[in-house]
């Protein structure tokens, strides 16, 4: 397992440069363990010793994504929920190849794997299975309820979107455009799912990061979502996406019991009952683990 908790890794994921580590960082605990096991098996199939593969997978993400980790730490200095993470990061980054507890030959093998970015040579995740994951999730979404809208309305505007909010106040046509695009989004569950995935903690990501998150989605989803970001005024798009993010989180929390999602999650159950504890704090702040395919 990695030295940093999945909760923190989820926040670092959009900053990661390697598609492999970006994917690993974005998963929940059980899905992450499954993906690391898949990468380990691929390394073993290449003749890498088990001890070497294990050491490599514990070190490589920290070393390869050090710029992303440092960028995140600069943005979130000593957050209250991550004070214990700093020592774990530092410990992982200060392990010397020759001092990793392996015989010299195996330590050298770990170093070679690090130098050649070995995970980039591993077989990719089945694209068809991921696309089916999008289909399953979108077609399983329930109708939005008053509780879902209450959750979204209760969310504060993130600091990153304050500029968009100020632009909205100065835009006489904002309400009309906002309502038009919000109705466009909620008219189709694929649109809701895609716009949610374009955000991290309700903040829309860069075009490059959005493309990475939507890479496994069906083609029609990618085309429609790209059109949204190009055609909708930027301040309107950002605020619509923020609202959609919390709507989707609220609906999924009600349906799954967990607002988080990746294309590797299993087909969720169809839950008809409205949860009486449908609040912002319950569904959008405290995720729980789920099983994965």
Cα–Cα distances in angstroms (integers) from residue 56 to residues 36, 71, 101, 118, 293, in the given order: 11, 23, 13, 9, 25
Q: How far is CA 233 from the centre of its chain?
A: 25
Place of tokens 């075009």: 207
Give the count of beta carbons closer than 10 Å to the beta carbon of residue 37.
11
Q: Of 203, 186, 57, 192, whose CA–CA distance to 118 is shortest?
A: 57
**H/E/C letters for each residue in 17-53?**
CCHHHHHHHHCCHHHHHHHHHHHHHHHHHCCCCHHHH
**Mean pLDDT over each residue of the chain, to the nearest integer:** 79
Average pLDDT over residues 38-48: 83
Distance CA 129, CA 135 (A): 10
Total-model pTM? 0.59
Q: Which residues contact 147 (CB under 8 A, 6 or more apart)?
A: 250, 254, 274, 275, 278
Residues listed for the chain: 293
Sign of the dihedral through C-alpha 187, 188, 189, 190: negative
The pLDDT of residue 96 is: 54
Out of 27-31, 49-53, 233-237, 277-281, give the one with best mean pLDDT: 233-237
Distances (CA, A) of 190 to 16, 36, 131, 218, 244: 25, 29, 12, 9, 12
Res 174: pLDDT? 96
Helices (DSSP H) in the chain: which residue ranges?
Answer: 6-12, 19-26, 29-45, 50-64, 66-75, 85-93, 104-115, 127-140, 146-154, 162-170, 174-186, 189-197, 207-213, 219-231, 234-256, 280-284
Q: If you average pLDDT over each of 43-57, 64-78, 153-167, which comes out highest?
A: 153-167
Q: How far apart are alpha carbons 22 and 12 in whole angstroms?
A: 8
- pLDDT tens per residue across span 6-37: 777 877 887 788 878 887 887 777 778 888 88
């Amino acid at each position: 397992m990695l030295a940093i908790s999945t909760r923190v890794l989820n926040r670092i994921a959009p900053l990661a440069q390697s598609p492999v580590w970006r994917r690993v960082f974005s998963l929940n605990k059980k899905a992450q363990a499954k993906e690391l096991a898949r990468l380990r098996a691929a390394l073993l199939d290449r003749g890498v010793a088990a001890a070497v593969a294990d050491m490599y997978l514990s070190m490589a993400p920290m070393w390869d994504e050090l710029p992303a980790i440092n960028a995140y730490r600069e943005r979130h200095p000593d957050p209250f929920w991550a004070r214990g993470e700093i020592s774990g990061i530092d410990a992982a980054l200060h392990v010397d190849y020759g001092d990793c507890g392996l015989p010299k030959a195996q330590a050298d093998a770990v170093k070679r794997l690090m130098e050649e970015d070995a995970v980039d040579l591993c077989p990719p995740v089945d694209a068809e299975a991921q696309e089916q994951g999008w289909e399953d999730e979108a077609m399983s979404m329930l109708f939005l309820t008053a509780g879902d809208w209450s959750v979204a309305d209760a969310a504060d505007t993130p600091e990153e979107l304050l500029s968009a909010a100020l632009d909205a106040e100065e835009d006489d046509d904002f309400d009309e455009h906002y309502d038009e695009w919000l109705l466009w989004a909620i008219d189709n569950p694929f649109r809701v799912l895609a716009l949610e995935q374009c955000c991290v903690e309700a903040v829309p990501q860069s075009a490059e990061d959005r493309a990475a998150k939507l890479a496994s989605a069906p083609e029609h989803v990618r085309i429609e979502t790209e059109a949204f970001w190009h055609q909708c005024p930027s301040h309107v798009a950002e605020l619509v996406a923020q609202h959609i993010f919390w709507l989707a989180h609220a609906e999924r929390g009600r349906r799954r019991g967990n607002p988080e999602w990746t294309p590797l999650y299993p087909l969720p159950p169809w839950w008809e009952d409205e949860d009486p504890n449908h609040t912002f704090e319950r569904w959008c702040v405290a995720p729980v683990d789920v099983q994965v395919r």
